[in-house]
Structure 1
């Protein structure tokens, strides 16, 4: 009864099938792989970790600057908007185009609804302020 409850876990492995599955997996991986042969310097990694010796002529000699390397470093330090013509991720889509779609004209009354006070609204504004001051005064007195 206990053997049937857990199921039959003593199935024998078929090594021929396992090998064919492995061969098929390797073939699929090889089909999708692309060999990368264009290597370069990582601009985000520091080249000189340790400072040179101050009295050594070898360490203090100034070398020529590589303009290609300087261009790569400069590009790596730029903002994504300057590096790429379109956003590379979904998160970059927010704020990518930050120029307004239309010019903002404050004199155009169709788009600007300024706060306007009348005599009634001025009165109620003062009344609410006085009420708040009285309530806060009572709370601090307690």
Structure 2
């Protein structure tokens, strides 16, 4: 009980300086200086509309073709960006083309909705109406 009632002893000035120097040294080891910046191609870009009466927004500047291609490529869906799925969840639904051509005259593979007396009765019963 006596140990809990005592406050933690604070380190003296020399110990605090040593801890501070060690912290600064470790932070400087982990820091990197970035000088080249680019747009993340995986992040969707949201544009903000310009103000119509602003003079700096109405200045015509030449468009950078490389930047525009990068923006358009980032906005594409994954099937157009990549030749094969990048994740496990993309494998589901990656191939969207049907394996065989749908022939609407072939009754073996095409089952259109039909309305008969039984389906009409079932529809009314499900809706809670009387027949």
- Normalised to the residue count of structure 2, the TM-score between the two structures is 0.48
Which is greater in Rg? Answer: 1
> Which one has the bigger helix percentage?
1
Q: Which has the higher contact order (CA 8 A, sep 6+)?
A: 2
